[in-house]
Structure 1
Amino acid sequence: MLLERDRRKVDILAELRQGRSAREAISAETWRECFRMLDAEVASAEQALTAIEGSPSPFYLLRLTGFLRQAAAKLAPSA
């Protein structure tokens, strides 16, 4: 919402309070940028996890980041 506010110079929260859905109030371009940033954060987390080899936790955390990646792909607007 902050990214969209900065791009359009409008109060997105006011639009949401008026009943407009987030999918309508926030542009597809901003959604794509948000999911690109989310993907970069997940990739960064994966890089940090591989440095802890030998512990069982990286396996589960890598599965979690994989799940986050899939969920983000389902939510992201189509090109």
Structure 2
Amino acid sequence: MSTESNGLTTISRTVASLAAGVVHTLERAVVGEAQMRTARGNAWEAVCADRARADQRAELDRIVAELTTNRDSRPTS
């Protein structure tokens, strides 16, 4: 039984490896060499997204602080 199981595992790994190779080749053909997604590209996109979110949070904090200051400085009736 262990030989059958081992054979099926090997076949599954081989099929998965071939499928990954086909997907990689297809992506290269469709999007082109320069547009291939890489780990470095994905990391840079994540850094840019984090910076954009931080900028948005800072802008929102600035607006809230400005509104709070304006509310506190209004004369009371």
Name which one, 1 or 2, has greater alpha-carbon Rg.
Answer: 2
Specify which structure has the higher proportion of helix: 2
Q: Which has the higher relative contact order, 1 or 2, with Cα contacts under 8 A spaced 6 or more apart?
A: 1
TM-score scaled by structure 1? 0.37
